[in-house]
Amino acid sequence: MEQVSGILIVIFHAGIHDGFSNGSGFKMKEITKKYSNGEIEIIWKPGTCIHSGICFRGLPAVFDPRAKPWITPAGANTEAIRAQIEACPSKALTFKMLSDD
Ligand code: SF4
């Protein structure tokens, strides 16, 4: 299982860096991606992600680096999504409750 997780992290890492790195190691402008189920908005900053794999090991029905888009908010209920986001060690994942608007 650890090997599978390692492979996923490599895929995830490769996918994330497509499109925002110029290959020189210079970090280009911060990209923010947003995904919503109507109750919660999942906010992801790929430039902040440290590729720990915690999100997709913890809630693979929502966070799947092999899928496009890689975040599917319909894969779990809002409370489960919120709890998983709070476990992100880098804070690349944050959220906004849409009822707060
Ligand atoms: S838990 Fe956070 S830091 Fe880890 S892979 Fe997911 S988004 Fe990136």
Q: What is the pLDDT of residues 3-28, one digit of tens each?
A: 555 666 655 655 554 434 445 555 55
Sheet holding 40-44, edge to edge: 33-36, 40-44, 93-97
Nearest CA to ligand 1 atom 2: 88
For the chain, give the longest Cα–Cα distance: 42
Residue ranges of domains in the chain: 2-100
| Ligand 1 atom with the shortest distance to the CA of 50 | 3
Q: What is the pLDDT of residue 100?
A: 73
Site to substitute for ligand 1 among 88, 91, 94, 95, most atoms within 8 A of C-beta: 88
Kindly give the parts of the chain with pLDDT less than 70: 1-28
pLDDT at position 85 is 98
Task: Please state, in angstroms and rounded to a whole number, the distance separating the CA atoms of residues 42 and 79.
Answer: 12
Is the separation of the CB atoms in 3 and 63 below 8 Å? no
| Closest-lying ligand 1 atom to the alpha carbon of residue 44 | 7
Q: Please tell me the predicted confidence (pLDDT) of residue 33.
A: 97
Q: Is 50 in the pocket of ligand 1 (CB under 6 A)?
A: yes
CATH architecture of 2-100: 2-Layer Sandwich (3.30)
